[in-house]
Structure 1
Amino acid sequence: MKKEILLTGDRPTGKLHIGHYIGSLKNRVKLQDQYNSFIMIADQQALTDNAKNPEKIRSNLTEVALDYLSVGIDPSKVNIFVQSQIPELNELTMHYLNIVTLSRLKRNPTVKNEIKEKNFNESLPTGFLIYPVSQAADITAFKATVVPVGEDQLPMIEQTREIVRSFNSIYKREVLFEPNVLLPEKGLGRLPGIDGKAKMSKSLGNAIYLSDSSDTIKQKVMSMYTDPNHIRVEDPGNVENNTVFTYLDAFCLDKLQLEEMREHYKNGGLGDVKVKRYLNDILQAELEPIRNKRNYYEKHMDFVYEVLKTGSINARSLAAETLSEVREAIGINFFFKLNR
């Protein structure tokens, strides 16, 4: 019987790519049989730095939902919900903001890095600055016991744990629970972009998406960054920071063949084209059934919307219970009406 609650999710700023797939989506499919799972499409969090372009978030929301279903996330086992449809999360965020200092928010290394990446400087939206508190509300609203994250997100979870401890201490009630972290399996780090850059994103045009056609995938694989000094087939090649081999490490199941290919490449006599063709075959086999499922769900959008509606109703019911307990602990759980 599934007892522990798992919470995870994504910002709908674009379609999901194979970095998301290998880094989290495959794991979520496995975990859905072990935990009571809630998967959040974090549209409000995405709006913290996209407030002037809400249509981008609205259109990508359904794209993310389609990607979830196409990889095998089962709505009969998992609640897929939309963050903005759970207003209780906003009130929880407000209550938590009262016990978090501005200096603590500014010290969060994950937020500091993202602020630097986005070049916010003095134009930093307040909503973006406080999103660690909003994330704490997301986690605690569902009394999540387990949150799968990458190592770069550990400061966010630690801040959630701090908020839980502070709240329970101030109001002298064990209302909130500290979540545990579930890190990716060793060796499953973030995939680089096909151009070799550390980050894979739509804005950089260096991602392979789950919804890409077979021709697009082949084109992208054949353009991948390898070893710039591996000019002739007979030249020894470097597999370190070689994007093709990084992807093969993530997707190739025949580790013996991969090791033989790696040694051949390092010693010379193996060309980039042959290695890329091998990777293309592997990715096509992995992504074709996902793409076919996605095409099916695109023709049955009423079902997709019903999944989001049902998941959001279930999520809101649980969040409302938590908010009621939080209000009671604070002493503001009033049940009277004000008459004029």
Structure 2
Amino acid sequence: MPRTIPDMNSVALVATDGMLHFELSLAHEVFGSAPDAVPGPWYDLDVCGPAPVRFGRFLLEPDHGLDRLPSAHTVIVPGWDDIDGDLPADLVDAVRAAHEAGARIASLCTGAFVLAAAGLLDGKRATTHWAHTDALAARYPRVEVDPDVLYVDNGTVLTSAGKAAAMDLCLHLIRLDHGSAVANIAARRLVVPPHRAGGQAQFVTTPVPARDDHPLADLLPWVLERLDQPLTVEDLARRARMSSRHLTRHFHAATGTTPLQWLHTQRIRRAQELLEHTDDSVDRIADTTGMGTATTLRRHFNRTVGVPPDSYRRTFRSRAREA
């Protein structure tokens, strides 16, 4: 039986020769320092590797060896540089041992090749940088490789696409551990979008409507102020002064998803915030978020978040009291 891990905030960041610098540094920035506005404890980060790692002119001295991985709650495996070469056996063995001990394993970018070599992705859906998805699928045919998503959450095993998608997965982990409000605080400090759903396309022409003259620049804030209303695609198109077809095209280019799926995601996010920070009943939250009834909210919330609203509230309320 997997052991019970006492400290859910313990994170082991793998650092060995061959790791990509960007993903390693990104994870260290996210989990290594708490935003000032975050209440309660942050993560206890350990850099783990077999020996000092040189990054150009810099030398990184690990805090512990790879044998430390099984004692962590979460293990982060950054991208791997040479996907065509042999992976270090000690690294693969350590990641496998950590998973068998009950740790949550998350890979960033081509770190998925390490997880696949350890057998952690067999029979599971996974992703990696879009440029290497074919190679991952060819080398590990038992892995269900999805080239079109930002990240995949299998519970105790998570994989992300490349570069910026690694940040999305890191924020997703924060959201799972500390709730959406804390994840939003972390995103503000990092100056990144607070939430891009894992199912969003890896490669979109315009990631976010950053310009004031973008066709959706005024529409999205308008929608967020009216989540309690029964909005349709036609309502959004009318507000944006364009056809439904053109609206859908702009939404897909800007968010990688459809207008209704984006609206659904925002309603779930608002429900999470209300469950975390108010005493409103599930019926009241369903009305406030435009879900209509508590039954509808429970069904969609459980499907999207993975737990019922009442369980989600108990989890994050108890953590707030402990903090």
Q: TM-score, normalised by structure 2?
A: 0.30
More strand by share: 2
The structure whose RCO (Cα within 8 Å, separation 6+) is larger is 1
More helix by share: 1
Q: TM-score, normalised by structure 1?
A: 0.29
